[in-house]
Structure formats: C-alpha cells, structure tokens
C-alpha cells in the first residue's frame, strides 16, 4: 500500500512538472510570436523546451555580435523566463562545417560557437533578472548538425530550458 501511495505521489509530481513545462512553452511561444517563421522555433521534447534561433536572426556571418532583431528576440525570451527560478538555461552555439578563415578573430568553429553562446548569455542577463547560476554557455562547433545537407540550418543557437528535477529525485531516493 505504501508503495502505491509513493507511486501516486511521484505520478502527481511528474504531472505538475509536465504541466509547468507546457505552460512555460506557451508563454515563451507567445513572447516570441513576432519572430516565429523568421528563423525561430519553440519545441517541447524530452521534458525540455528548445528555443532554436537561426544565425540569420542573430549574427552576421563569422561574427558573435548579435544584431538588433536578434537582441529583441532574446530580450523577449529573457523576460518570459526570468521568473521561472527552477528552470536551468543552457545556451548552445552551433556552427556549420565551413572552416574559419585565416586572420579571423576566432581560431576555429569551437571558438566561434562558444563566443556566440556567450554573447547570447550576456544579452539574456542584461535584459532580465535571470540569476547567473541558472545559465550555462556552451559551444558545440559543427558536431551536432540538424541537417548535414543544409549548412544554414546548422548555424544556430539553441536555448534549452530544463526543469529542476531534484524534488523527483528526492522522492525516489527517500
């Protein structure tokens, strides 16, 4: 009987987390409505929310400086998620397979992908009250392509929103 009660409690907690993520996805989608179809998508999968921003929305070629339209999209995103204290934010920079030209500011695609992720993190922080300990900047270089045949699709920033699952873990290990 105690086991069934524990399972019911776990199921209820999982449903609460799932409902909270659905609500967050709706809020993020609503905040970014003007940018969807312009190189931005919002998808919920595997218990996370993935906000994918194509480079054309954010950066000039070979640069980590975010342009005006990209800054607006990131500011809208930051405002939509700033009050979700139990969500961790992973910002991944992705590049295509084109090599960095000699004389560039960046040594290679690893450098460029990390610099772009860091630029996005700074804008998220500057335009909101998001705590720095909730955000991670990461570069994936060219090694996680969406479509090997379409370089433009591979050049992107992924903002991955993940719920804190410690409460579930604690329920299982008690």
CATH code of the domain containing 88: 3.30.1330.60
Distance of alpha carbon 84 from the chain centroid = 14
pLDDT tens-place values along the chain, 174 residues long: 788 888 888 888 888 888 989 999 999 999 999 887 788 999 999 889 999 999 999 998 889 999 999 999 999 999 999 999 999 999 999 999 999 988 899 999 999 999 999 999 999 999 999 999 999 999 999 999 999 999 999 999 999 999 987 766 676 676
Rounded to 5°, angle at Cα 121 from 58 and 38: 25
Q: How many domains does the chain contain in total?
A: 1
d(CA 57, CA 27): 20
Q: C-alpha distances in angstroms, 89 versus 6, 66, 75, 134, 162?
A: 30, 19, 14, 6, 7
pLDDT of residue 168: 65
pLDDT of residue 122: 97
Host domain of residue 90: 2-173
* Residue that the structure tokens 């590049």 belong to: 95
């Amino acid at each position: 009987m105690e086991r069934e009660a524990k399972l019911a409690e776990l199921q209820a907690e999982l449903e609460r987390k799932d409902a909270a993520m659905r609500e967050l996805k709706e809020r993020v989608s609503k905040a970014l409505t003007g940018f969807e179809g312009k190189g931005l998508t919002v998808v919920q999968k595997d218990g996370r929310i993935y906000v994918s921003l194509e480079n054309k929305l954010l950066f000039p070629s070979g640069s980590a400086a975010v342009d005006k339209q990209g800054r607006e999209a990131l500011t809208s995103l930051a405002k939509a998620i700033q009050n979700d204290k139990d969500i961790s934010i992973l910002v991944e920079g992705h590049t295509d397979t084109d090599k960095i030209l000699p004389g560039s500011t960046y040594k290679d695609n690893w450098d460029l992908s990390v610099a772009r992720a860091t630029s996005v993190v700074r804008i998220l922080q500057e335009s909101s009250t998001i705590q720095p300990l909730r955000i991670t900047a990461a570069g994936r270089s060219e090694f996680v392509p969406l479509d090997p045949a379409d370089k433009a699709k591979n050049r992107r920033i992924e903002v991955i929103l993940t719920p804190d699952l410690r409460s579930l873990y604690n329920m299982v290990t008690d």
